[in-house]
Amino acid sequence: MLAKKVAKLINEQVTLEFYSAYLYLDMANFYADQGLEGFAHWFEIQTQEERDHALLMRTYLLNNGVHVTFGTIHQPDKEFKALIDPLEAALEHEQYITGCINKIYGAAAEEKDYRTMQCFNWFVKEQGEEEKNVGDLIKKFKLFGSDPKGLYALDQELLARVYTAPSLVL
Ligand code: OFO
């Protein structure tokens, strides 16, 4: 049985993960409008991954007999102007989500909820990867993004990104 506090935090996180999916799809829309298909595709895959996170957490709660409720998914309200804006906003968002995941992990540790800690080891690691991925993309954008040929090559590279299902199995 999960402690109430832990279950509540994970339940709230389900909605936040769906919000992340929504936010990244909004970023994909921005790039699609600019004709940057590769960037749009990269964010569409981010959306799929966030949806996966939400579904995994939902399944984890259900498997542990927790009733799942969904919160309101807020409208993405950031105005993007420069091409780098969504990338920087995505990094900021991932850093925020890392804090949320750490809070869940911390609460589980406090409650000696080893099952949740074991499950959330995956999410802790995943956040490290997510921050690195978008951080690397920002670096590349800063190096090549101001040159049209460089931007085109980067867009083509991002177009090749392939969705992979999460390695966490519940
Ligand atoms: Fe769900 O990892 Fe990004 O936000």
Where along the chain do its domains lie? Answer: 4-70+79-159
Question: Cβ(90) to ligand 1 under 6 A?
Answer: no
72-115: pLDDT as tens digits: 999 999 999 999 999 999 999 999 999 999 999 999 999 999 99
For residue 14, the tally of other CB atoms under 10 A from its CB is 22
What is the pLDDT averaged over residues 18-39?
98
Quote the pLDDT of residue 162. Answer: 98
Whole-prediction pTM value?
0.97
CATH number of 4-70+79-159: 1.20.1260.10
Ligand 1 atom 1, closest CA: 50
Ligand 1 neighbour 134 (Cβ under 6 A): no
* Pick from 120, 126, 130, 142: nearest CA to 94: 130
Burial of 165 (0-12, 13-18, 19+ CB in 10 A): exposed
| pLDDT score recorded for residue 1 | 84
Question: Does the C-beta of 97 come closer than 6 Å to ligand 1?
Answer: yes
